[in-house]
Amino acid sequence: GENVEQHPSTLSVQEGDSAVIKCTYSDSASNYFPWYKQELGKRPQLIIDIRSNVGEKKDQRIAVTLNKTAKHFSLHITETQPEDSAVYFCAASRRQGGKLIFGQGTELSVKP
**Cα dihedral across residues 68, 97, 9, 64: positive or negative:** positive
**Which C-beta is closer to another protein: that of 18 or that of 45?**
45
Backbone angles phi and psi of 16, in degrees to 5: 95, -20
**Which C-beta is closer to another protein: that of 11 or that of 49?**
49
DSSP state of 9: S
CA distance 64 to 75: 5
Shortest Å distance, C-beta 17 to another protein: 24
Shortest Å distance, C-beta 53 to another protein: 10
Give the interface with another protein as residue ranges (CB under 8 A).
1, 6, 9, 32, 34, 36, 43-46, 49, 51, 89, 93, 95-96, 98-105
